[in-house]
Homo-oligomer: A and B are copies of this chain.
Amino acid sequence: MAQKVKLSTIADALGLSTATVSLALRDSPLVADVTRERIKDAARELGYIYNRRAASLRTSRSGIVGVCVHDVMNPFYGEILKSIETELDRQRQTFILCNHHDDLSKQRSFVDTLLQLGADGLIMSPALGTPAADIRLAEDNDLPVILIARTIDGAGVHGFRGDDAYGMGLAVDHLVSLGHRSIAMIGGTHATSTGREREAGYLAGLERGGIAFQPRWRIEGPRDRHSGFDSAATFLAMPDRPTAIVCFSDLVALGLMYGLARGGVRPGIDVAVVGYDDIDEAEIATPPLTTVSNGQSEVGECSARALIDRLQGTTASEQTTLIQPELKVRRSCGAGA
């Protein structure tokens, strides 16, 4: 390009001042319609490119929102992101993504970047072990934070997540109603609030069903497909195997089912399997996966909207809003359509 086109270029070309041009381009009522059109035409013609850095330096509004999750490739977050994206697009906010992979230092450097860029807000599913102080740091520097999926005690910011304990209870209750008296839980750990909640729901469900929990029924682990796959071997090697399994997530369940199948055990026939999240793939899996819908899109939508509200000045809530989960009965639990 020959020369950068800026406001003054347009102003000079039209014999106006940059002020008028600026106002016109932003559709201010202060400039006459004809002038505005003339200006817009000229801008288009000259190939003017709005310089957001300069603008935001002046206005301290960058139009950037950060989104930080464990891993976007995880379908669970993927669906949340999709609705966040839709909502943010509508507000003409650009969003910057970061996978922290539960690495605290990575998360910190991301937050730092956002601060440097003067981001308008941050929606995050905090990494394991994130101290409340990290959240405060952001908030104290005018970066509003909304938490999703996970909670942090004492952070004092608005959050959205599914009611994990209740949802997992739904799954266990269902299995109990099908007559199962020994139910394992695979995947997840105490390290995350989600892990703790879902395990609590599992235990509570057992108790409601009058079933005594056996420690060996609980196989902890990461939350991905591979981990589920690997857990299959552990499960298959169990003497006196449980007749049903609830999984921390669909991904774990899907991996587990691959593993069970390879071990000659048919999910949905030889053993009941239930997942959690109701990701797209659950429906077409073999067998279709019974699971708990966790309201991902609702979480995404609500969090984006909550952030936008805060940007527009509404005062912040400090509560965590729970989204109601829902059981989706399919074939993998042995019942179902």
Contacts and interface: CB of A to CB of B under 8 A. Distances in A.
Contact of A117 (B52, B97, B113, B257): B52
Contact of A116 (B49, B258, B259): B49
A321 interface: no
A198 to B, nearest CB: 23
A242 interface: no
Contact of A73 (B73, B94, B257): B73
A284 B261 contact: no
B226 A280 contact: yes
Contacts of A257: 286
B53 A62 contact: yes
Contacts of A226: 280, 284
A75 interface: yes
Contact of A96 (B1, B56, B94): B94
Given A57-B57, A75-B73, A117 B142 contact: no
Interface size class of A (residues with CB under 8 A): 35 or more
Nearest to A230: B284
Interface in A206-264: 225-226, 229, 255, 257-259, 261-262
A115 interface: yes
Contacts of A62: 53
A141 interface: yes
A89 to B, nearest CB: 8
Contacts of A281: 225
A1 B140 contact: yes
A268 to B, nearest CB: 12
B285 A53 contact: no
Contacts of A262: 286
Given A142-B1, A261-B286, A85 B73 contact: no
A35 to B, nearest CB: 23
Closest 5 CB pairs of A and B: A73-B78, A52-B116, A261-B286, A97-B97, A229-B284
Given A49-B115, A225-B281, 15 more contacts: A1-B142, A47-B141, A49-B116, A52-B118, A53-B117, A72-B73, A72-B97, A85-B99, A94-B113, A94-B117, A96-B97, A225-B284, A226-B280, A255-B284, A257-B286
